[in-house]
């Protein structure tokens, strides 16, 4: 029980609690000070003297502050201030905060004035209690709604005064033939973009076959770890979407050095080239796996504790991009939830797709662990989020991190198993309580909904049905085929040997002058 409690109470939660405790005490001090000034100018000061009056208010604070703080923090926690409960995340957040503050002061007043007799020499004046409640409410509202005010009032006013830079329609998609990329490229073409894809095409060109002949699509076969190929691919581009990576824990664990080169070193190089070429719109595909294991609901400001190599490389890439940001280069980071559903390059090494396929073809649904929380998003919605961020003004998405998904699609793995079972009733649902995967996180997607008006079009149920229909219609013959699995394809097809080549960027990293040298190379490119 104690271990579970320690896991639930994070440093981020303790920091927010400490801030609230400070605000409650500041409010109480301010209220008592105002009341003291009133009493000091009245006949009471003449009767008892200023020293005695001062001593009374100091004792009143020392006696009442601990209980008020404890009651307030307990009520705030109950209202979801520290776990981001559903009501606290929604549009009624201000009402939730007001209700919590009101209830905490009512409970304190009930305890001190009705449940037991407080000595008169430490009694808190009712007027001071009322003022403290008002001050606490104001502080809590201001501290928790300043982002909303900034995005809805201040930023729009500033944007009216600053002319927006015209955004070009030429987009480079690195890794555009992958799981997300094959869903994204058709969307961008439909929206009028001129798209260039840089990809090694380890899975062939079939993922983009439906749009391969499109007049506004250019396919370049190349290794995005090679600076000259990246420089050439960026020629004439206005925006860059970087989806290329070794994705998933098992695939990343095959070769740690290779994973670092692909996921981290190459990202730094690509960003340096984009920055040197004056490309300000840079969208990077990250993952909610950076959150690791935590029982509270997490948002973009929560602490990150990745527990896998994949998560560590993505987090390190994020941090590198943030360090490079300036007024002209403002990367946008998208942390995707666990993806499911079909695209041009479908994967069956992901939990929803895998459980649905096994249930349909083998009649078995095996869930490992089951209590781990995961957020989910359909691959088509993941692509929609990228397209939405690309279209949005840089003043809104520049330098920002967005979780991509929806609050309604936070599920435990066992809940996913039951959703599959509801649609394949003949399959046996088996739950193995032991699981090597320790990731456990629920995520808030309020920010992307509020700022970009992003709303997923798919649900987990409809995604499961999509997989079942694809198997029934023989669109997927054998989900166990290596092409549907990142780790199997890298191992069984020999693809990992293809990508095990010298990465010229890793040589640049050995020199402290690498970024400056790279910018020179990129700037001189035609």
Residues 201 and 119 in one domain: no
Residues 185 and 119 in one domain: no
- Return all residues near 444 (Cβ < 8 A) that are at least 6 apart: 84, 89, 297, 298, 299, 403, 407
Residues 341 and 239 in one domain: yes
Residue 448 tokens, joined: 């992307």
Residues 174 and 315 in one domain: yes
Q: What is the pLDDT of residue 510?
A: 37
Q: What is the pLDDT of residue 89?
A: 53
Residues 81 and 230 in one domain: no
Q: What is the pLDDT of residue 98?
A: 86
Residues spanned by the domain of 110:
2-161
Residues 231 and 252 in one domain: yes
- Where the chain has pLDDT below 70, the residues are 1-12, 44-46, 83-92, 114-118, 120-122, 145-167, 434-438, 493-495, 497-526
| Pairwise CA distance, residues 129 & 106, whole Å | 10
Instruction: Enumerate the β-bridge partners of residue 450.
Output: none
Cβ–Cβ under 8 Å, residues 305 and 255: no
Domain boundary among 144, 161, 178: 161
Residues 178 and 115 in one domain: no
CATH number at residue 199: 3.40.50.720
Residues 11 and 72 in one domain: yes
| Residue entry with tokens 């997923």 | 456
Is 224 contained in some domain?
yes
Domain boundary among 161, 189, 224: 161
Is 417 contained in some domain?
no
| Pairwise CA distance, residues 404 & 452, whole Å | 11
Domain total of the chain: 2
Q: What is the pLDDT of residue 171?
A: 97
Q: What is the pLDDT of residue 168?
A: 75
């Amino acid at each position: 029980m104690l271990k579970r409690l320690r896991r639930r109470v994070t440093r981020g939660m303790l920091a927010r609690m400490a801030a609230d405790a400070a605000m409650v005490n500041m409010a109480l001090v301010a209220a008592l000070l105002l009341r003291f000034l009133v009493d000091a100018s009245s006949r009471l000061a003449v009767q008892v003297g200023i020293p005695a009056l001062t001593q009374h208010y100091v004792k009143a604070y020392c006696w009442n502050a601990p209980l008020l703080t404890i009651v307030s923090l307990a009520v705030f926690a109950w209202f979801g201030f520290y776990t981001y409960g559903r009501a606290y995340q929604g549009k009624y957040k201000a009402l939730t905060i007001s209700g919590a503050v009101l209830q905490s002061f009512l409970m304190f007043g009930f305890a001190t004035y009705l449940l037991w007799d407080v000595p008169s020499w430490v009694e808190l004046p009712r007027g001071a209690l009322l003022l403290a409640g008002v001050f606490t409410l104001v502080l809590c509202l201001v501290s928790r709604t300043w982002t909303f005010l900034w995005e809805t009032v201040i930023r729009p006013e500033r944007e009216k005064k600053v002319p927006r830079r015209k955004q070009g329609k030429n987009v480079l998609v690195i890794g555009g033939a992958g799981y997300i990329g094959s869903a994204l490229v058709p969307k961008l073409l439909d929206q009028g973009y001129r798209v260039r894809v840089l990809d090694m095409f380890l899975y062939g060109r079939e993922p983009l076959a439906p749009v391969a002949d499109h007049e506004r699509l250019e396919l370049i076969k190349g290794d995005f770890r090679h600076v000259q190929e990246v420089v050439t691919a960026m020629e004439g581009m206005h925006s860059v979407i970087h989806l290329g990576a070794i994705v998933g824990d098992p695939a990343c664990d095959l070769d740690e050095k290779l994973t670092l080169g692909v996921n981290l070193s190459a990202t730094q190089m690509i960003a340096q080239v984009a920055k040197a070429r004056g490309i300000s719109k840079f969208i990077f595909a990250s993952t909610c796996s950076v959150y690791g294991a935590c029982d509270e609901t997490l948002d973009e400001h929560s602490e990150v504790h990745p527990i896998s190599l994949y998560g560590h490389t993505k987090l390190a890439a994020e941090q590198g991009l943030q360090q490079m940001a300036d007024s002209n280069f403002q990367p946008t980071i998208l942390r995707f939830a666990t993806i499911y559903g079909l695209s041009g390059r479908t994967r069956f090494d992901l939990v929803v797709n895998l459980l649905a396929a096994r249930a349909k073809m083998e009649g078995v649904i095996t869930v490992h662990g089951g209590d781990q929380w995961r957020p989910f998003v359909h691959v088509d919605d993941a692509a929609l989020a990228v397209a939405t961020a690309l279209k949005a003004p840089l003043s809104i998405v520049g330098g920002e991190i967005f979780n991509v998904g929806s609050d309604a699609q936070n599920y435990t793995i066992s809940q996913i198993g039951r959703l599959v079972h509801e649609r394949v009733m003949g399959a046996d649902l088996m739950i193995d309580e032991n699981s090597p995967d320790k990731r456990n996180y629920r995520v808030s997607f309020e920010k992307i909904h509020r700022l970009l008006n992003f709303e997923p079009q798919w649900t987990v149920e409809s995604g499961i049905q999509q997989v079942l229909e694809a198997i029934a219609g023989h669109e997927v013959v054998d989900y166990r085929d290596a092409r549907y699995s990142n780790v199997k394809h890298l191992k069984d097809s020999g693809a990992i040997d293809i990508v095990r080549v010298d990465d010229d960027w890793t040589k640049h990293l050995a020199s402290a002058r690498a970024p400056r040298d790279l910018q020179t190379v990129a700037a001189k490119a035609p």
